[in-house]
Amino acid sequence: MTQRVSRVYNTRRRVLVTGGAGFIGSHLCERLLADGCDVLCVDNFFTGTKDNIAHLIGSPHFELMRHDVTFPLYVEVDEIYNLACPAAPIHYQYDPVQTTKTSVHGAINVLGLAKRVKAKILQASTSEVYGDPQVHPQTEAYWGHVNPVGLRACYDEGKRCAETLFFDYHRQHKLRVKVARIFNTYGPRMHSNDGRVVSNFVVQALKGEPLTVYGDGSQTRSFCYVDDLVEGLVRLMASPDEFTGPVNMGNPVEFTIGELAQQVIALTGSKSRIEGKPLPSDDPRQRQPDIALAKAKLGWVPTVALAEGLPKTIDYFRKGV
């Protein structure tokens, strides 16, 4: 009843973004506002910051709420994007118990909320649900190879359990759910000191420090520009109810880490040299998403090449370094 009355006065879609002050979340909030939504951004600022969404504060259609998703949340919304969760190993291993709680208790709370208000709900899952994969590239049909007691388990198993909860709420309570398995994403507002390769290289190049290439640099990765990912998430949310995913989202174009280092040096005009460092013992040789499902169901393919996305990322870091 409440919902019906409020719709008379407000025809905008009311969208909750948990983790909205983070790297990806802040871009998603921006996009949803541009699409004419009323956006409620919920964040506990563990790895996110108000700086990421400062430019949105003051918009009459943007609301910021400090809240930890491991606690219940009672709000009225039409759609929920659940992004709250630290994403980089140094962040999620800082307080691993809290990481699991964020994924699992967080999922239960937002699913309970979605059930009460009949909202559509999307989970930001991860390629890490595949663990240390024995199949390349990974399709959604692959069940993964995860160590349940290792240092990464708080993240990997937390995200796997969140997926389980999403599908059980779907089967048991008929919730409209969507699960996106996100692969390496980069762009402005990514963390400058989380040890990930893109931010490391860009910051090192801008400071004129050596770029630390682990191993011989022949291992490959694929990098998705954040605007492409956000487009994928928005399309997934808008897809027919029968399409729940899980669906891979990432850029399948592979680069060697050595090539990435060269590109960063060229684009920054840096005098930095490349310095070899030992390869971490569990470093995968290759990580590449199979995005055939996203292409078929959502008509989605990434369109921003590394040569286009890297300069925008470099500009962002240039202002902060």
Nearest alpha-carbon partner for 177 in 237, 97, 105, 224: 237
First to last CA, the chain: 52
The CB-of-40 to ligand NAD minimum distance in angstroms stands at 13
- Tokens 């190049």, residue located: 205
Q: How far apart, in whole angstroms, are the C-alpha atoms of residue 126 and residue 246?
A: 10
Per DSSP, the residues of 188-229 read TT--TTS--HHHHHHHHHHHTPPEEEETTS--EEE-EEHHHH
The nearer residue to ligand UDP, 46 or 169, going by C-beta atoms, is: 169
Residue pair 219/284 in contact (Cβ under 8 Å)? The answer is yes
The nearer residue to ligand NAD, 195 or 276, going by C-beta atoms, is: 195
| Catalytic member of 155, 169, 186, 225 | 155
Q: Is 256 in the site for ligand UDP (CB under 6 A)?
A: no
Among 33, 47, 236, 291, binds ligand NAD (CB under 6 A): 47
The CB-of-88 to ligand NAD minimum distance in angstroms stands at 7
**Three-state SS letters, 257-321:** HHHHHHHHHHHHCCCCCEEEECCCCCCCCECCECCHHHHHHHCCCCCCCHHHHHHHHHHHHHHHC
Nearest alpha-carbon partner for 68 in 56, 80, 85: 85
Q: How far apart, in whole angstroms, are the C-alpha atoms of residue 168 and residue 173?
A: 8
- Looking at residues 277 to 306 of the shown chain, list those that interact with ligand UDP (rule: CB under 6 A): 280, 283, 287
Among 15, 17, 114, 124, binds ligand NAD (CB under 6 A): 124
Query: Does the annotation count 155 as an active-site position?
Result: yes
- Looking at residues 152 to 191 of the shown chain, list those that interact with ligand NAD (rule: CB under 6 A): 182, 184-185
- Looking at residues 35 to 94 of the shown chain, list those that interact with ligand UDP (rule: CB under 6 A): 72-74
The nearer residue to ligand UDP, 203 or 293, going by C-beta atoms, is: 203
The nearer residue to ligand UDP, 239 or 270, going by C-beta atoms, is: 270
Binding segment for ligand UDP (CB under 6 A), chosen from 22-30, 32-40, 214-222, 225-233, is 214-222
3 state DSSP class of 160: helix
The CB-of-24 to ligand NAD minimum distance in angstroms stands at 4
The nearer residue to ligand UDP, 26 or 200, going by C-beta atoms, is: 200
Q: Is 116 in the site for ligand UDP (CB under 6 A)?
A: yes
* Residue 152 neighbours by CB under 8 Å, 6+ apart: 89, 93, 128
Nearest alpha-carbon partner for 229 in 201, 197, 268, 188: 188
Q: Is 48 in the site for ligand NAD (CB under 6 A)?
A: yes
Residues at the contact surface with ligand NAD, assessed by CB under 6 A: 18-19, 21-25, 43-48, 68-70, 83-87, 102, 106, 124, 126, 182, 184-185
Q: Which residues are catalytic?
A: 155
